[in-house]
Amino acid sequence: MQKFRVEQYQEKHKKLWDEFVSKAKNATFLFYRDFMEYHSNRFTDFSLLVFKENTIYALLPANVVDTLVYSHQGLTYGSFVLQEDAKLLDSFEAFKSILEFLNIQGIKQLDMRIIPSFYNTIPSDEVEYFLYKAGATIIKRDILMVIDYRNKLRFQKNRREGINKAIRNGLHIQVEESFEEFWDEILIPNLKNKHQVAPVHSLEEINLLATRFPKQIKQINVYKDNKIVAGTTVFLTKTTIHPQYVSGNEDKNQYGSLDLLYDFIINKFCTDKDYFDFNISSEQNGNILNQGLIFWKESCGARSIISNNYLVDTASYKTLKLETK
């Protein structure tokens, strides 16, 4: 009898899934079903649960396109989610069982975007080792700029000057209940005018998610003479502060509004956090670095961490084994 059993997610699993995510060592609130399913009409869910006897041992948040399963196209990151007391050798067998299940279901490849390590509550690099043993290919490697609060660096002189400029210009910051002002007046127009794109989330979706996750999703705005000039929609996980969206009006450099804003959010929510995630600073699957973004983030005290995206053939389970002694 096999030690592990794999099942495809169904609505009946929701409570079990969410309870597992709440205690997992490499998961964030993005893996709760109420977050994953806000855009369920865009993706065909193919999430998996791995059971050891009758207890959940691991999860795979995922969607499917033809014969390719992604973990997960609708999320910033995916990964093979493990419980805190998961042991290495058992986790390997659970991972192998996922590949076997997918292969039997006619899925040829698994595309896995690993959750960055600083989001983990305890070490969880075994997933990348399993992918290495399975002969997975790295198809994308991004550079993320991150502040480590345990070894925090000072803002450089140019950033401190920006903060002082904002204070002299009478800017003030407010944590808001509403997202509309920032999204309608700053974010959506800026993305449309500068990049001809829309935010990944619609305003309706971000309102829905903030209602579902009020402790994790916050809106902070910057005002001059009671008129909004900049803002950010922030995601808060167990370990990390992450500004999901940041934007300012055309006077942001003149007024120093973004310097003031970042200084506030870096220091406002950090009491129980270890990291501040500025997000990626690379483009085209990690092949090109955005020098301007890197300079700006480093001047705030951020330094580099990598995030990997792998592609693995599910048939590799047939020859996948660990060499031990």
Q: What pLDDT is stored for residue 1 in this prediction?
A: 44
Question: What is the pLDDT at residue 11?
Answer: 96
Per residue in 242-264, pLDDT (tens digit) is 999 999 998 777 899 999 999 99
Structure tokens at 86: 């998961």
Domains of the chain: 4-140+309-318 (3.40.630.30), 154-269 (3.40.630.30)
Indicate the burial class of 272 (C-beta count within 10 angstroms; 0-12, 13-18, 19 or more): exposed
pLDDT at position 2 is 62
pLDDT digits (tens, 9 = 90+) for 232-245: 999 999 999 999 99
pLDDT in tens, 68-124: 999 999 999 999 999 999 999 999 999 999 999 999 999 999 999 999 999 999 999
Q: Packing angle between helix 157-168 and helix 257-268, nearest 10 degrees?
A: 110
Q: What is the pTM of this model?
A: 0.94
Query: CB burial class (10 A; 0-12, 13-18, 19+) of residue 122?
Result: exposed
Residue type at position 70: Y
Which residues, 6+ apart, have CB-to-CB distance to 11 below 8 Å? none
**Residues lower than pLDDT 50 in the chain:** 1
DSSP string, 272-293: T-SEEEEEE-EETTTTEE-HHH
